[in-house]
Amino acid sequence: MRDYVLRQIASLQRDLARFERKYGMSFERFGEYLHERSVLLETGQLTPHQRQALGQAIMLEEDDFFDWKASLEMLDSWLGLRQEAKV
Instruction: Quote the CA–CA distance of 28 and 46 in Å, as a whole number.
Output: 27
> Would residue 25 be called left, alpha or beta, if left means φ above 0 and alpha means ψ between -120 and 50 degrees?
beta
27-43 helix and 48-85 helix, angle to the nearest 10 degrees: 160
What's the pTM value of the predicted model, to 2 decimals? Answer: 0.88
Beta-carbon contacts of 30 under 8 Å, excluding residues fewer than 6 positions away, are 19, 23, 65, 68
pLDDT tens figures, 9-56: 999 999 999 999 999 999 999 999 999 999 999 998 999 999 999 999
